[in-house]
Amino acid sequence: MGDIKNKVLVLLLWYLLVPCIMHAQLDFGNTPLPSRLGGQENWQLQEELSDDFNYTFQSTSNDMNFGNNTDESKKWKNFYHNNWTGPGPTIWQKQNVSVSDGYLNIWASRNPGEMKTFFHNGQRFTKKATRAGCVTSLKKVKYPVFVETRIRVMNSVMASNTWLLSPTVHGQKDDQEIDIIECYGGAGADNRNVFFANKIHLSHHAFRKGLSSVLDYQPSDRNSWWTKNGVNQWGGKWVRVGVYWQSATRVEYYIDGELARIVDDKAIETRIDNHRIYTYPDPDYTFGSGANGQIITHDPSSNSNEVGYQRMLTARNLEEAKSKSQRSVIDPLNYMKTEGKWTKELEIIINIEDQSWLAAMDITPTDEELSNFQDNNLLVDWIRVYKPVNLNGD
C-alpha cells in the first residue's frame, strides 16, 4: 500500500508541475510586460498560442502544421488561412517558411519569368511575382487579450507583418482585422521607399467583401504612421510590438514596452516622442463621395503637408476627443455591420507581402535586392499571448 500511495503522490505532483515546466520552457528573454499593464501576476500566458521558436521546422512545399516536436503542441500552419495567394505581386509559398536557431524565418524569393497580374484602384498591373512566406495560428484570440512579438524588420520595401484576422467560416467573410505591426522598413537601393522606411503602421481594417469587390476602411490619419525619434529606417532593426485588444471598441498599441497609440471607439490617442496627441475625425472633411465610399482626406489646397491623410481635430485629452467626435474610428462606414465593434475571434498571421498599392508605384523589390537573403528574411524571435486575470482571483 505504501508503494501505491507514493506512486499516486508522484503522479499528482507531476500533473501539478507540468504546466509550470511548460511555462518555464518558453523563452521570451526575460522581457517584462509593458509596465502600464501591471505585473506578470495579473496575466495568464496562453501557451497554445505563444511560441519561442526554440525547435526546428524544415521548409516544405507540403501543407504542414508546426509548433514544436509533438502533435499536441502544433500552433501554426505554413500558409494563409484560406486559398488566397496574397496581395499585388505576392504569391505565398509554403516552402518560404522554416524554424531554426531559435527563430521563425519567413522570406521572399523570385522565380525567373514568373509574373502576376493584379488590380489596384481599378487599374490592371502585371509585375514580376514575388514569392513570400506566411503562417497562420491554428487557434484564435478574442478580447481581452494581449499579443506581443519581437521581430527583426526586413531591410526591404516589402511589408513585415504580424496581424489578427477573422477566419472565413460558415459563409462569413474575413472582414475584421487588427494589425500589430505593418512596416516597410527598407528604403531600397535607390531610396524609392525612403518615405515609409522610418514608419511603423499602427492600424486596423474593416472590410465589406462582395462577390466581385472589396471595400476597405482603415484609419488614415497622419499619426497612424508612427515614427520614433532617431530611427531613420526600421529595416534591419529588432523591435517589440504588441496590442492589448481590450474590448470590442478599444485597442492599445505598444512599441518596445511603451504605449504608442490608443484607438478607442470614436477617438485616438497617439504618443509622438514625449508628448501625446488626442484626435478625432473632422466631420466637415471625413465623409462624402470618395473612391469606393472611402474616407475623404484633408483638402490638399489648404495644407500640402496633409495630402493623403484623413483630417483630424485635436482635443485636450482622450475623453474630450470622444465626447466631441461624431463618428466611430473603428468602422465609421459600417462595413462590418456591427455598429463599430470587433465581434469575432481572430487568428494570428505572420507574413511578408509585396503589396499592390506600393507595387503600382514601382515600389517592389528588384531582382538584385531579392538576391540578398538576409535583407528579405523576416526573423521572429518570439510571440506571446496573455489573458488578464481577475484580481479577485477568478
pLDDT value of position 23: 45
How far is the C-alpha of 260 from the C-alpha of 191, rounded, in Å? Answer: 27
Q: Name the amino acid, one letter, at 350.
A: I
Quote the pLDDT of residue 70. 66
Q: How many Å apart are CA 287 and CA 310, to the nearest integer? A: 10
Domain boundary assignment for the chain: 2-266+331-388
| Cα(93)–Cα(84) distance, integer angstroms | 11
What is the spatial distance between Cα 120 and Cα 113, in angstroms, rounded to a whole number? 22
- DSSP string over 90-115: EEE-GGGEEEETTEEEEEEE--TT-E
Please indicate whether residue 306 is annotated as part of the active site: no
In the residue annotation, 182 being an active-site residue is answered as yes
Side-chain half-sphere exposure of 394, counting CA atoms within 13 A: 2
What pLDDT was estimated at residue 6? 52
Q: Exactly one of 41, 48, 182, 258 is catalytic; which is it?
A: 182
Helix (H) or strand (E) holding 195: helix 194-197
d(CA 163, CA 179): 4
Local structure of 309: helix, strand or coil: coil
CATH for 2-266+331-388 is: 2.60.120.200
Q: Dihedrals φ, ψ of 24, to 5°?
A: -70, -25
| pLDDT given for residue 15 in this prediction | 43
Show pLDDT as tens, one digit a residue, over the chain (394 residues): 555 555 544 444 444 444 443 444 899 999 999 999 998 899 999 999 999 999 999 999 999 999 976 666 799 999 999 999 999 999 999 999 999 999 999 999 999 999 999 999 889 999 999 999 999 999 999 999 999 999 999 999 999 999 999 997 666 678 999 999 999 999 999 999 999 999 999 999 999 887 667 888 998 899 999 999 999 999 999 999 999 999 999 999 999 999 999 999 999 999 988 899 999 998 876 554 444 444 555 444 344 455 578 889 999 999 999 999 999 999 998 999 999 999 999 999 999 999 999 999 999 999 999 999 999 999 999 999 999 997 554 4
* Opening angle at CA 62, ends 181 and 82, nearest 5: 50
pLDDT of residue 289: 41
Which residue in 41, 114, 177, 368 is the catalytic one? Answer: 177
pLDDT (0 to 100) of residue 274: 86
* Alpha-carbon gap, residue 79 to 348, rounded angstroms: 12
Sign of CA dihedral 34, 35, 39, 43: negative
